[in-house]
Homo-oligomer: A and B are copies of this chain.
Amino acid sequence: MGNYQSSLEAAFHALADPTRRAGISRLTKGPAPVRELAKPFAMGLPAFMKHLRVLEADGLISSQKVGRVRTCRVNMEKLAAAESWLCAQRAFWQAGADRLADYVETQMSGSIENDG
């Protein structure tokens, strides 16, 4: 699997869970310690840490421990790969919709000419 495909794999897998999405969403606003990240969630710290480990294994975040505090930060590269893939799909789809509109327009102006 190429680098781009494996980035997509990692990003979409990581983001398929609401806790992980919320964690990413918090971290795009700036780095945060694990305990602060965990606070909004109705789950124990060990359950939350599992989600962080998925995010870290998928390369969407990195973390560093200084003293007793582990601080997480987001890596934007894989999110960017996922966004650009989705943007490309929309462009393909839009190009098709434009071709269809052109076709309909050609057919309609053809009919009007034939009628005239």
Contact = CB atoms under 8 A, between A and B. Distances in A.
A80 B90 contact: yes
A15 interface: yes
Nearest to A13: B16
Nearest to A80: B90
Given A92-B28, A93-B76, A9 B16 contact: yes
Which of under 10, 10 to 19, 20 to 34, or 35 or more describes the interface residues of A?
Answer: 20 to 34
Nearest to A26: B92
Interface string A1-13: 1000100110011
Interface stretch (A44-52, A63-71, A81-89, A106-114): A81-89
A79 interface: yes
Contact of A79 (B8, B18, B90): B90
